Chains A and B, each alone.
Chain A
Amino acid sequence: MAVQRLVVEQVRLALSSNQAVAYAVRDADVDVVAAYPITPQTTVMEKISEMIANGEMDAELIHVESEHSALSAVVGASAAGARVFTATSSQGLELMHEILHIASGLRLPVVMAVPTRALSAPISIWNDYSDLMNTRDTSWVTLIASTAQEVYDTVIEAFRIAEDPRILLPVMIGYDGFAMSHTYEPVYIAKSPERIREFLPRRDRVKLDPNRPVTMGTITPPEWYYELKYQQVVAMNEALKVVKETDKLLGELLGRDYEPVETYMMDDAEIGFLVYGGVYGTLVEAIDTMRSKGFRVGAARLRLWRPFPVEDLVEKTRNLEKLIVVDRAISYGARIAGPVALEVISAYYYEDDAPLIASVIAGIGQRTITEDDFVKLAEVYMRKGRDSPLYRESIYWGVRGVEVK
């Protein structure tokens, strides 16, 4: 991952991921923020409120009465030409769902941070990725960060991706609720925002302007609807290229390099894990432990979820014998119930030398995943060959009453 090359002068702060979001939003010169309080997102909004109240940030903060209105308000502001931001979690993201589709359908460069959280019922304020995974088909470019540093960098990057005239799509940045949103890490941020603002030029786009009137959000008959939706398909596919290009530019700006799929000790690994979000740190530690005992294991993490980076994923994991995909969300009723596992299996369908792919569900409602869990999972799959039923369906790791043999 990140090689430190301090290109822009930076200062080191102790920040939670939520605070890192607020600093990035400030440095990106956002015009309008609308948000509604929900755990664990709340401190994003609190920090932004504080920055605005102290005159450190020049933006309008709309204290909306719901998340539905939060996204609606930033959609309106974005349509009027402003740079906009919102953040939410869990139920809030579910309440926004209708407008998620509209933001992308109107091709508005909205940026949203999502410290992820489990869904009700039963209510849980703790982490998993059920909320983010439910947005899969909404046509938002979706990145998942695994450190507070990456959260800061990615929020800045997100504005450039979203506003790229080749795509004009909303961007969502997910990261672990609590484990990241409320945990302090050292984060390098730009000492002054000028260079960040040069990285994020104000580009002209279609907007609500009385000098050039446009009609946005029309009713569209069968003769036209499909073509407009197909343009979105093309834009989402194009977004893969845009994200990779922007990753490079971001690296030149901040000295930290990112890729859609990142790996650790993967070159000679026989068994590899694929995860997303903050748990990657735990996994890397577990890999070190297992490597010290002579096991050839490696780690990968998915940083870009939508558009799904098929080639990157295959290229970086194809030499494995076994690939264990750990999902923190459940697609109920599917035999392979991990959303990312499903995608990985589909990515490998036409590949001749695919690894054996296992789907593991873990970390649901913040059932903690420890290094030991990864070691034990490696031990389980080390013994299991192609004939094992453990590859045929997802296993539910760590749930009481279910024993994985």
Chain B
Amino acid sequence: MAGLRLRSIKDLPREELFNPGHGLCAGCTASTIVRHLLKIAGRNTIVVNATGCVEVSTTMYPYTSWKVPWLHVAFENAAAVASGVEAALKAMSRKGLIDPSKRINIIVLAGDGGTYDIGFQALSGMLERGHKLMYVLYDNEAYMNTGIQRSGSTPLHAWTTTTPIGKVMRGKLQPKKPIAEIVAAHRIPYVATTNVAHFMDMDKKFLKGLQVEGPSFIHVLQPCTAGWKFDPRYGIKLARLATETAMWINWEMDHGSFKVTVRVPKRKHVRHYLKLQGRFKGLTEDDIEEIQKYVDAEVERINKLVGAQVIGPLVED
């Protein structure tokens, strides 16, 4: 990472620190995220991984996909474990037990279950204490590792095995928890949302997150072929559609200043995003319109926050 400047894709380091041969699904975008993350971070990195898809799929003993030191302890405590790693490096370098001149990146990698739900308390504690580490949330909007159960991140009306689209209940009844904003409310130096389709946006945010003093939080939308029920070739396309429909907005909060980093002059109807996914298959036109209304309100709120129309009006082409 040291001295890395990201102007174009050509600046991305060629070194691969995430080995192929892991067990993630064909078309899984989590591996794309991890691959980029390690390119940005480089070798001087320690990864703490919460229980989840990435953890189980990349470390089947006696094999590993990780060329950097990696630790998994449990589901709900990755932020606490990483706090300990950070404190250890601090104390040991102060005492001369490790090289004090070497700056080691500490990265937490956790899914939505491990962040929104079971890991929330440990996350909040870590943020409040101000540990210098980067927390990367790969958000596939349900408990995919255990077989697609609802999480606090599952969007409105999405099907999961525990929120079926039935005669009375229409998938998940609540919208997503605004986790990145809740994290931002801790007033840490850097919070960003990003999306694997806009990988330069994502990679720049990883880099910034690693450079700031104090905690940073990068929230990445991660389309999941198995849980969202789409053709594996559409992962990146869906991620792009999420931004184009404003189902997902790429923003950053850099030392208190808020900015939308991927502007969307003309917004598409959410239908384009929903129709490619089996998890929204059973929805009626009314359900879809309800989602659209929810997104419209979000767009209005964000534009007001920025003070400009960074996300444009709905335009059908």
Q: Is the CB of B46 within 8 A of A208?
A: yes
Interface string of A200-221 (1 = CB under 8 A from B): 0010000011100111111111
How far, in angstroms, from A32 to B55 measured CA to CA in the complex?
A: 26
Q: Which residues of A contact B56 (CB under 8 A)?
A: 219
How far, in angstroms, from A218 to B66 measured CA to CA in the complex?
A: 11
Cross-chain contact of A64 among B55, B68, B83, B97 (Cβ < 8 A): B83
Q: Is the CB of B61 within 8 A of A218?
A: yes
How far, in angstroms, from A34 to B68 measured CA to CA in the complex?
A: 26
Q: Is the CB of B61 within 8 A of A210?
A: no
Cross-chain contact of A31 among B77, B81, B91, B121 (Cβ < 8 A): B91
B34 on the A face (CB < 8 A): no
How far, in angstroms, from A284 to B127 measured CA to CA in the complex?
A: 51
B99 to chain A minimum Cβ distance, whole angstroms, is 9
Q: Is the CB of A73 within 8 A of B60?
A: no
A132 on the B face (CB < 8 A): no
Q: Which residues of B contact A80 (CB under 8 A)?
A: 46, 84-85, 88-89, 92
Q: Which residues of A contact B71 (CB under 8 A)?
A: 76, 79, 208, 216-217
A226 to chain B minimum Cβ distance, whole angstroms, is 12
Q: Which residues of A contact B69 (CB under 8 A)?
A: 208-210, 213-216
Q: Is the CB of A218 within 8 A of B72?
A: yes
Stretch at the interface among A8-16, A54-62, A258-266: A54-62
Interface string of B61-104 (1 = CB under 8 A from A): 11010111111111011011111110111111011011000101
Q: Which residues of A contact B66 (CB under 8 A)?
A: 213, 215
Q: A32 — nearest CB in chain B belongs to which residue?
A: B87
Q: Which residues of A contact B45 (CB under 8 A)?
A: 210
B174 on the A face (CB < 8 A): no
How far, in angstroms, from A81 to B110 measured CA to CA in the complex?
A: 23
Knowing A62-B84, A218-B64, the reply to whether A31 touches B95 (Cβ < 8 A) is: yes
Interface string of A68-89 (1 = CB under 8 A from B): 1110111111111110100000
Cross-chain contact of B43 among A68, A81, A102, A210 (Cβ < 8 A): A210
Interface string of A91-113 (1 = CB under 8 A from B): 00000001100100010000000
A111 to chain B minimum Cβ distance, whole angstroms, is 14
Knowing A79-B85, A219-B55, the reply to whether A69 touches B122 (Cβ < 8 A) is: yes
Q: Is the CB of A221 within 8 A of B88?
A: no
A230 on the B face (CB < 8 A): no
Cross-chain contact of A76 among B55, B85, B91, B121 (Cβ < 8 A): B85
A209 to chain B minimum Cβ distance, whole angstroms, is 6
Q: Is the CB of A215 within 8 A of B64?
A: yes
Q: Is the CB of A220 within 8 A of B61?
A: yes
Q: Is the CB of A224 within 8 A of B91?
A: no
Q: Which residues of B contact A213 (CB under 8 A)?
A: 66-70
B59 on the A face (CB < 8 A): yes
Q: Which residues of B contact A79 (CB under 8 A)?
A: 71, 81, 84-85
A25 to chain B minimum Cβ distance, whole angstroms, is 13
How far, in angstroms, from A82 to B95 measured CA to CA in the complex?
A: 11
How far, in angstroms, from A98 to B76 measured CA to CA in the complex?
A: 11
Q: Which of A59, A69, A224 has the most CB of B within 10 A?
A: A69
How far, in angstroms, from A219 to B49 measured CA to CA in the complex?
A: 12
A296 on the B face (CB < 8 A): no
A65 on the B face (CB < 8 A): yes
How far, in angstroms, from A75 to B73 measured CA to CA in the complex?
A: 8
How far, in angstroms, from A74 to B86 measured CA to CA in the complex?
A: 11
Q: Which residues of A contact B82 (CB under 8 A)?
A: 76
Q: Is the CB of B125 within 8 A of A66?
A: yes
Q: Is the CB of B60 within 8 A of A219?
A: yes
How far, in angstroms, from A98 to B95 measured CA to CA in the complex?
A: 31
Q: Is the CB of B80 within 8 A of A216?
A: no
Q: Which residues of B contact A215 (CB under 8 A)?
A: 59, 64, 66, 69-70
Q: Which of B80, B95, B129 has the most CB of A within 10 A?
A: B80
B48 on the A face (CB < 8 A): yes
A181 to chain B minimum Cβ distance, whole angstroms, is 25
Q: Which residues of B contact A217 (CB under 8 A)?
A: 59, 71-73
Q: B17 — nearest CB in chain A belongs to which residue?
A: A213
B31 to chain A minimum Cβ distance, whole angstroms, is 16
Q: Is the CB of A60 within 8 A of B88?
A: yes
A63 on the B face (CB < 8 A): yes
Q: Which residues of A contact B83 (CB under 8 A)?
A: 34, 62, 64, 69, 73, 76
B124 on the A face (CB < 8 A): yes
How far, in angstroms, from A63 to B128 measured CA to CA in the complex?
A: 10
Interface string of B21-64 (1 = CB under 8 A from A): 00000000000000000000001111010000001100111101
Q: Which residues of A contact B122 (CB under 8 A)?
A: 65-66, 68-69, 72
Knowing A73-B83, A210-B44, the reply to whether A60 touches B61 (Cβ < 8 A) is: no
Q: A209 — nearest CB in chain B belongs to which residue?
A: B69
A333 to chain B minimum Cβ distance, whole angstroms, is 29
Knowing A213-B66, A221-B61, the reply to whether A99 touches B92 (Cβ < 8 A) is: no
B194 to chain A minimum Cβ distance, whole angstroms, is 25
Q: Is the CB of A224 within 8 A of B84?
A: no
Q: Is the CB of B90 within 8 A of A60?
A: yes
Q: A29 — nearest CB in chain B belongs to which residue?
A: B95
Q: Is the CB of B74 within 8 A of A77?
A: no
Cross-chain contact of B84 among A72, A210, A218 (Cβ < 8 A): A72
22 contacts across the A-B interface (CB closer than 8 A): A32-B88, A62-B83, A63-B129, A65-B121, A68-B80, A69-B79, A72-B73, A74-B84, A76-B71, A76-B73, A76-B81, A76-B83, A78-B88, A79-B84, A82-B91, A82-B92, A99-B74, A210-B68, A216-B69, A216-B70, A218-B61, A220-B60
Q: Which residues of A contact B (CB under 8 A)?
A: 31-32, 34, 58-60, 62-66, 68-70, 72-82, 84, 98-99, 102, 106, 202, 208-210, 213-221, 224, 228
**Other contacts beyond A69-B121, A106-B73, A210-B45: 19, CB < 8 A:** A34-B87, A58-B94, A64-B80, A65-B122, A68-B80, A69-B77, A72-B80, A75-B73, A76-B80, A77-B85, A82-B88, A84-B84, A210-B104, A213-B68, A214-B70, A215-B66, A218-B60, A220-B60, A224-B62
